[in-house]
Structure 1
């Protein structure tokens, strides 16, 4: 009895195990199909993603091509040889400014364009300068400089004959001087880094000298006018002589024809003169002829 009772539970366990195995197989198949379907969906999604990625790449290639074209243009612009020339300096001595002009590679296809303005220098000695303003009482003088004015240092000197120049206390670029009974001479040195880059002198005349100099322009104008007229007449005479020398044959023939015409006109005049003289003499001769005729008639 115990053996049969022990065998029944074992048989029941086996049957339950088979049933569980039989139920697990379809569930595994469903799980397998379920697992396979997401994989297929993922493959489809991956294909769609690859298509959109390819489209994005195509779209991104266009701006890259534009950027590369712009980069090539920039490289070409950089490779263009830029030719530069310099304008005239604003001064002939001392320190001034000039323009730097680009003659090749200007924007907008312009033939020339100003790139920048730079400093230029000439000889240090500027000789004798002119005041910036003057009156009968005072004169204003200016040193050679460019802006900014405070960039340089200025040294004013009063020049005296056969003596050392007297350095003035004024260290600005402008000096105002009162006229005195004697003419005066001043000099201004423009310094940069304790080096003289420009030097100019001025003469300050007295009031009487200034009035005399101001009255001279009238006489100077008359003298200039007379000299101009004289030069014009001389030039005209020279041109006439050159024309006669070049066309000497034509001038000679012209004078010969004119001489012939004067002779022709002179011959009829002489004939008329002879006729008039003969007519004047004929009345005096007529009485004598009448006397001869009467004497012959009487005979």
Structure 2
């Protein structure tokens, strides 16, 4: 594995070794009477080639509170690179701290797309809301993951009749907790095990951008969070335009939302980066990159 400062991880060393017939050397060394099969490396060669793409280029901003340690978002970074390579563009990934009194507006103007990652706790939350507001006002492709999705719901609510909307994760006196802990979780709050963790089924709603990305109705995604979309606000926020594009199979839990009147603004409660691979970029990341590329042409 070769790490480059601007392009992330390039998986090239296995191909270098194979160019020197390392596979056949190993076969001969252990005394197997077979020929080494290198045909399966053809796809990998194409992947490495695509990861080295230098033009066209897009700039993506990850707005979060752990940006001082970029490895905090390494799975997201790699997923963006997988998706960019799959559509033939180079992704320049930049990091912007949300843990500030005022978000850097000039930095936001450099981004062709904005990604709001997950996290825990209130620190940096308002900065994420500012980035979301900028993306809404300027039609910048926007992707929210886990707390990023909750941030999108919160900011949409604040713009649509709930100026004090927030998450109950941040206090017991929230006026409008559009993000809250489920009742069954509250019962075991002091006993541990309140986190929704692991793989869960999700039902995609046809006619949405999310459905366009996945191309199927029934999917499975991995979760790691405690708080959920508060269904007490569901009907009203939908009436005001919020699009719910993915739910649990029983329609109880909101898994994916989309912002209305926007070219691409999707938030998911799960972590799609956990399922992305160099040869299988996650559908949401790929769709996000396609939207970013279109935006970059303007």
TM range (shorter): under 0.3
Q: Which has the higher contact order (CA 8 A, sep 6+)?
A: 2
Structure with the higher fraction of residues in helix conformation? 1
Q: TM-score, normalised by structure 2?
A: 0.17
- CA radius of gyration, larger in: 1
Q: TM-score, normalised by structure 1?
A: 0.17
